[in-house]
């Protein structure tokens, strides 16, 4: 699946989480806490995917083509604001004083960001980046999503207790996943390219 399709699906999932959270009965604090954790996780993944994969290549292509980078800079600034607002909710329970005001501001900023990306930035990406590159970016996004899903499943299995334990498990799982990814990269780099080996063998045969 190409990157634009995945990003748009991610936008709809974020909107769905916001709607579910807002519809949730305020009396069920535990359920709201679970939804809040899911929302924060989805926001971190959203920012990571775009800042790590989509935004950098768009910046390069736009710079070469002389395309205005203002929509990209605006999106990055919105990411920073959303990330700060989400971090402010860490450690705050849904029934704490001031929580409702903070979550309302976060929801407004997230919706503004998604609308801006959908109407401006993603259209510019579609016009500027070729289909093959978008497919490759989509493949890399799906790989990152699988790592995140595996980490969450491991955390839920090893730490099925309270929310604090699950957060610790997520951190440990993230470190494990990062180490595995780094090891995989190093192994690939150390592996000799087959074509080069074949060419070396032919040169040795000629010398004999």
pLDDT by residue, tens only, the chain of 208 residues = 899 999 999 999 999 999 998 887 666 778 888 888 899 989 999 999 999 999 999 999 999 999 999 999 999 999 999 999 999 888 777 777 788 899 999 999 999 999 999 999 999 999 999 999 999 999 999 998 888 778 767 766 776 655 555 555 545 554 544 444 444 444 344 444 444 444 444 444 444 4
pLDDT, position 98: 84
Which runs of E-coded beta strand occur in 9-108?
Answer: none
Q: What is the three-class DSSP state of 91? A: coil
What local confidence, expressed as pLDDT, does residue 146 receive? 86
- Asked whether the whole model's pTM tops 0.85, one would answer no
Contact 52, 45 (CB under 8 A): no
Q: 42 phi and psi, to 5 degrees?
A: -65, -35
Instruction: Single out the residue of 42, 18, 45, 46 nearest to residue 32, CA to CA.
Output: 18
Residue 29, Cβ density class (10 Å: 0-12 exposed, 13-18 middle, ≥19 buried) = middle
Asked if residues 110 and 18 have their Cβ atoms less than 8 Å apart, the reply is yes
Q: What is the pLDDT of residue 118?
A: 95
Taking the C-alpha atoms of residue 80 and residue 77, their distance in angstroms, rounded to an integer, is 5
- Report which secondary-structure segment, H or E, holds 27: none
- Residues 59, 120: Cα–Cα separation, whole Å: 15
């Amino acid at each position: 699946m190409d990157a634009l399709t995945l990003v748009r699906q991610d936008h709809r999932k974020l909107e769905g989480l916001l709607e579910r959270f807002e519809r949730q009965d305020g009396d069920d604090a535990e359920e709201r806490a679970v939804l809040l954790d899911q929302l924060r996780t989805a926001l971190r993944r959203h920012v990571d995917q775009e800042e790590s994969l989509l935004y950098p290549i768009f910046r390069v292509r736009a710079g070469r083509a002389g395309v205005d980078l203002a929509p990209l800079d605006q999106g990055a600034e919105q990411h920073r604001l959303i990330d700060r607002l989400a971090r402010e909710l860490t450690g705050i329970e849904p029934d704490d004083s001031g929580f409702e005001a903070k979550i309302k501001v976060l929801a407004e900023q997230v919706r503004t960001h998604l609308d801006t990306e959908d109407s401006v930035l993603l259209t510019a990406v579609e016009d500027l980046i070729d289909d093959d590159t978008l497919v490759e970016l989509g493949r890399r996004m799906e790989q990152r999503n699988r790592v995140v899903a595996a980490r969450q499943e491991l955390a839920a299995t090893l730490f099925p207790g309270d929310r604090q334990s699950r957060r610790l498990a997520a951190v440990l799982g993230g470190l494990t996943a990062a180490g595995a990814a780094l090891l995989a990269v190093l192994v690939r780099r150390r592996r000799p390219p087959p074509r080069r080996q074949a060419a070396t063998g032919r040169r040795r045969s000629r010398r004999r």
